[in-house]
Structure 1
Amino acid sequence: MGTTSKALIAVVCLVALLGGVAFGGLWWFQQRLDANVEKLGDPFAAVSDRPEPAPSDPAEELGDVNILVLGSDSRISAGDPSQWEAGAQRTDAIMLVHLPADRESAVVVSIPRDSWVPVPGHGHAKINAAFSYGGPSLMIQTVEDLTGVHIDHFAVTDFESFTGMTDALGGVRIRVPEDIGDGDEVFFAAGVHEMSGEEALSYTRQRHGLTNGDFGRVQRQQNWMRSILGKINNNRRDVVMMAKFFDAVSRSVAADDELSAERMRELFDSAREVSTNDVAFMTAPYEGTGRSADGQSIVVLDEDSLDPLMEAIAEGRAAAYVDEHADDLELLPATVK
């Protein structure tokens, strides 16, 4: 599965779960979902020199919420530091989900897994190495140090059942603006497709015709995520569909102890008016790819663009910043090639 698609699925899992815990107000269903979610303890306890939360606005009853979401090859060992070995638990992608205090929008920033950054205690390394070196706590520390953004919650998922989650929704609708193929065979003809889980996976894996390689795949994967969220929004009243979907999602998520069913319900209720059109999907600003001193293939982040974006998120003015700098950011377009 593609690098960023896993983190996107992680966000879908989290958003869907937030909806699921408010599903129909059924206590037994909420309890089952909460029991399905693996708990990671308090990964923030070992994080030092943390950024301050965004200043609260007296006019807003709620504060900003920032959630760090990881896509990993295994969630089960994520809560057991004794099982961590360098490289043993891969973090295939990292995403920062920002909900502002007014709950009128959201920002989702994908940080490429190969981004070359300082990892506390380990010098410079690819950002996904932080999870292998020290699990959730070191990953949180690394991202907070890089961005200056206070992380409120942490979630990680595996992906064994992601095609099933897609199929539980009856597939997703994705527009393909031009034929996708390998030059000899057309895999997806131009037009609107109702894609099953397997078809969506093939769509996100397809490389042919992408001039910017993996960065181009990121947008296809974000497009898939946007379609998933749209399907959820349009089918909230379909009891059978939502029950199956939320159950599958909850079995794929691990989260910090404070991200309880009650907390999820609070977040869902406060953000229930946010539609897919209100969510800004983007990739963290980058200069391009390169090589580290020891020969690793890396992504070089554009600090001159990344720092003001993250400062805006940290200070609770992300929506205004994104609107003002939309031409300078790699935002997900309405139609993705």
Structure 2
Amino acid sequence: MTQDPPEETDGVEPTPNAEVPAPEPDAAPEASAAPTPSVADELPEAPPQVELINDADLKWLDAPQLSDEERDRRHERKERHKAKVRAQRRHRRWWKIAGVGFATFLVLFGFWFYWTFGGLSRMPAVAGQAGLNTPGETILLVGSNPSEPDAVTTGTGWQAALHRSDLVMLLHLTRNNRAMFVISIPGSSLVPIPGHGDGRLGQAYDTGGEKLYVRTIEQLTGVRLDHVAVMDLNGLREITDEVGGIVVDVPREACGIPPGLRRLDGQQALDYMALEPCLPRKDLDRVEREQGVMRALMRGAVDGGKLTNPFRVNKVLRSTAGHLTLEKGFGYPGMIGQIWSMRKLRTTNTTFLTVPVAAKPNGTVNGADVIHLDPAKDQALWDALRQDRIADYLALNSDADVLE
């Protein structure tokens, strides 16, 4: 009996020499209605003869072949484009450097001009007690307020008993210039005043001016003060206005001011700092508000880049010069170095903290409100300051009074 050839199937060639199974006998119609599979359905799939390629490969195959000259020309165009981009980047980078350099030059020149021609007041050199050496630099910043409206607040016109120091901060710049710690000492702190017994810290300034003030603080801390700067608080008001105001975070309700973010102009900032009578912790709350204002001013002026605007810098200098007194030892070269050292400081690497106080800090002496300090804890802080290790001190003292 002759076997019928296998049926042809579209797209599939039968494999040569493959064994073809004998067809099974026809099934009864009532047993199954399924069609009988063809021989081609039982054959293995033919192996692919050509490796598949993607569309990109096809486009490349279809593209015309470039000559060596055309390939060289394209390479030269690419190199010229890369060189142009690099030049533009260098140009922009140099413009940025030049802009910052020009702004820095204006700051330095402005200080020199005001210093030389009388805009800045100068006091005798008072900082730097012999035998005290501290790594990094520590600057005493004093905020002076006249007790009489017409009293001269800075320079040689200063008179004893006509002023009070409402703001006392030690600005410590670390030896590597990577961080700054601002330590506040309440002006009502009860401390020993050389030659005058115990009294409020502010009394040292009221009685003997910057010289006695520096002696008192260096004796209290054992830290050498490298420089002293005294600012009449009216200058703080004008600087705040020149930078467009500040935004402070009011920590808690007091004196009718609700907590939260508040925008303040210069006068409002001074009023905000002066709300001591209705504050529960009195001078300690005042210190916290002073720190908040100073940090907000730093954020607005430095972090906000407003001091890179030459015109704004000039206005700030004018506002500062008439209200700032620097010691003669803080000369022009020293100021250049100081500004350069502090150029990278921002609020992110500046920490505000308050000197430790007693468990029950508020008290009175001779009818005057005072703040009692904690000598043991204070000594640990001053030791850390002398060793330029305040960051380690804060890591070991989680209860330190740090501005959040």
Q: The TM-score by the shorter chain falls in which range?
A: 0.7 to 0.9
Q: How do residues 94-113 of structure 1 correspond to structure 2 at under 5 angstroms?
A: 94-113=168-187
Structure 1 residue 206: Cα displacement: 4.4
Partner residue in 1 for 2:375: 303
Q: Which of these residues, 275, 279, 290, is aligned with residue 221 of structure 1?
A: 290
Q: Shift of the alpha carbon at 1:121?
A: 0.9
Q: CA deviation at 1:331?
A: 0.6
**Letter in structure 1 aligned against 2:241:** D
Contact 1:67 1:97 (8 Å CA) reproduced: yes
2:123 is aligned with 1:32: no
Match of 1:284 among 350, 355, 358: 355
Structure of greater relative contact order (alpha carbons < 8 Å, 6+ residues apart): 1
Shift of the 98–22 alpha-carbon distance from structure 1 to 2, 3 Å rule, reads farther
* 1:22, distance to aligned residue in structure 2 (A): 8.2
User: Relative to structure 1, is the Cα distance of residues 191 and 286 closer, same or farther in structure 2, using a 3 angstrom cutoff?
Assistant: closer
| CA–CA distance in structure 2, aligned partners of residues 256 and 64 of structure 1 | 19
Bigger CA drift: 30-39 or 98-107?
30-39
Q: Does residue 196 of structure 1 match 2:265? A: yes
| Match of residue 320 from structure 2 | 249
Amino acid across the alignment from 1:128:
G
21-30 vs 191-200, which moves further: 21-30
* Contact persistence 1:66–1:150 (CA under 8 A): yes
CA gap of 1:213–1:141, structure 2 versus 1, over 3 A, is closer
Assess if the C-alpha contact under 8 Å between 1:84 and 1:133 holds in 2. no
Q: Which amino acid aligns with 1:232?
A: A
What is the rounded CA distance, in whole Å, between the counterparts of 2:276 and 2:195 in structure 1? 36
For 2:357, the aligned partner's letter is Y
Name 1:71's counterpart in structure 2: 143
**Separation (CA, whole Å) in 1 of partners of 2:275 and 2:168:** 21
2:343 corresponds to which of 236, 247, 272: 272
Q: CA deviation at 1:80?
A: 4.4
State the 1:209 CA deviation: 8.3
Matches of 1:51 and 1:153, distance apart in 2: 16
Aligned counterpart for 1:240 among listed residues 280, 295, 311: 311
SS at match of 1:236: helix
Cα pair distance change 1:181/1:78, threshold 3 Å: closer
Deviations 1:121-149 (A, max 9, x none): 11111111112332222111111111110
CA offsets 1:300-319 (integer angstroms, 9 cap, x no match) = 11111111101110122122
In structure 2, C-alpha distance between the alignment counterparts of 1:70 and 1:219, rounded to whole Å: 16
Matched residues in 2 for 1:238 and 1:269: separation?
17
Which region of structure 1 is more displaced relative to structure 2, 35-44 or 194-203? 194-203
Q: 1:209 to 1:128 in 2, by over 3 A?
A: closer
2:329 matched residue in structure 1 = 258
Contact 1:285 1:329 (8 Å CA) reproduced: yes
Paired amino acid for 1:70: V
Q: Does 1:155 align with 2:229?
A: yes
Give the 3 Å change call, closer, same or farther, for CA 299–267 of structure 1 in structure 2. same
Q: State the SS of the aligned residue for 1:108.
A: strand
For residue 222 of structure 1, report the CA deviation from its aligned partner.
1.1
CA contact (8 A) 2:223 2:386 kept: yes
The offset of 1:179, in angstroms, is 6.5
Larger radius of gyration: 2
Q: Deviation of residue 112 (structure 1)? A: 1.0
CA shift for structure 1 position 202: 3.7
Q: For the structure 1 residues 323 and 249, does the alpha-carbon distance in structure 2 shift closer, same or farther, using more than 3 Å as the test?
A: farther
Tell me, what secondary structure is at the counterpart of 2:352? strand
- Could you list the runs of 5+ residues in structure 2 that have no partner in the other structure? 1-99
1:221 shift after superposition: 2.3
Secondary structure class of the residue paired with 2:307: coil
- What is the match of residue 41 of structure 1? 124
**Structure 1 residue 282 displacement after superposition:** 1.4
Q: 2:247: which partner in 1? A: 173
| C-alpha spacing 1:241/1:76, structure 2 compared with 1 (3 Å) | same
Q: Distance in 1 between matches of 2:142 and 2:276?
A: 23
Q: Name the SS for the 1:173 alignment partner.
A: strand
* Partner Cα distance (2:260, 2:169) in 1: 30
Q: Deviations over 1:238-259 (max 9, x none)?
A: 2222221122112211011121
Between 204-213 and 311-320, report the one with greater CA deviation: 204-213
Aligned to 1:5: none
TM-score by length of 2: 0.66
1:113-132 matched pairs, under 5 angstroms: 113-132=187-206
What code does the residue aligned with 1:272 have? R
1:52 aligns with 2:123: no
- The residue number in structure 2 matching 1:4 is none
1:230 pairs with one of 291, 299, 303: 299
Q: May I ask how many residue pairs the two structures share in their alignment? A: 294
Could you tell me whether the CA contact under 8 Å between 1:84 and 1:134 is conserved in 2?
no
CA distance in 1, matches of 2:333, 2:103: 13
Quick one: which amino acid aligns to residue 71 of structure 1?
A: G
- Normalised by the length of structure 1, the TM-score is 0.78
